[in-house]
Amino acid sequence: MSYFIAFYDNALADKKAEYNTVIKWSRNLKQRFVKGLREYFDSDRITKFTYRPYCPYYIYYSDVFIDENGLMEKVFERGDNTVICFTNPGSQKPFMSLASNQMPDLHLVGAGAGTQCLPLYRYGESGDRVENITDWSLTQFQKHYKDKKISKKNIFPYVYAILHHPAYRSKYEINLKREFPRVPFYEDFWKWAEWGKKLMDLHLNYESIQPYPLERVNIERSTANITRLMARKEKGEIEIDTQTTLRGVPAEAWEYRLGTYSALEWILERYKEKKPKDPTIVEKFNTYKFADYKEQVIDLLNRVCTVSVETMRIVKEMPK
């Protein structure tokens, strides 16, 4: 990022930009260049980012160099918030929902799948934190269930549970492809809120959850170790590379899907070595080697396996 900014600043100083060289000049960046907008590198702008499910990344948050910031600055202004992400109406991908306490990517489950976010809080122009669930909504819930103990913080996980309900997704499949999800009043509010809280705890805290006891099988080979990162669902195995395989993946772990991939498959897809398309990145910054992250990825797979199994256990408790 510092390289990107330095190149932009030099072009700004010369008042001349070669739009077809070195850095990627988007439409908005060209407009900001013409206006003379500048921003100096600041490491405090680097923050954790939910780029794809269960694949922690970092982003450089910028008013100049991010093409479209959207409303995320009003959601994560102080970094303390939780959002329920779900598939945007009109998406080409199957409906999914995932809670995050980090800024999410617009295409959380891949290209062709926009993402909407429901935050627990938002921030006003004065910087004050405001509850995003309205007083009107709270009144509707309390009236329907005849229960004044219901709070906005209870409604949030209730909604999360509803969005995971297989029968809800099936019944309203066509509606979810064309309009914002509607929230029904199901029997036993507190049970649904409890399911939603358990799901949120799993999905938000996946990096610290108890790892699933997958069996690790190592085979010493004289030939060079080749990265695989392949799911062998019928065998309950994950082939890490030509030396290491994880065995004992429960069948239900593959059932927890977000878009076209299961949670485990997202990890396998994101950590593969790929040659970047951008020539500048290839020349100067293409240093990623899976071998450097192998143990970290194996640990992550074990933890997300627990998340997947527990998620499906809770979902299958919901009425059919």
pLDDT tens for residues 105-127? 888 988 777 889 999 998 877 77
**Angstrom distance (rounded) from CA 308 to CA 243:** 25
Q: What is the DSSP letter of 15?
A: T
Provide the token pair at 246: 């994880």
The domain locations on the chain are 1-41, 46-204, 215-317
**Angstrom distance (rounded) from CA 28 to CA 307:** 39
**Helix, strand or coil for residue 91?**
coil
Residue range 38-53, pLDDT digits in tens: 999 999 989 888 999 9
Mean pLDDT in residue range 67-73: 77
Residue range 139-194, pLDDT digits in tens: 999 999 999 999 999 999 999 999 999 999 999 999 999 999 999 999 999 999 99
- 115: part of which helix (H) or strand (E)? strand 115-119
Nearest to 97 by CA among 252, 251, 263: 263
Mean pLDDT in residue range 72-82: 78
Rounded (10°) CA dihedral 276, 103, 198, 153: -170
Full 3-state SS string of 294-308: HHHHHHHHHHHHHHH
pLDDT at position 15: 85
Q: Does residue 78 have a pLDDT over 70?
A: no
- Per the prediction, the chain carries an average pLDDT of 93
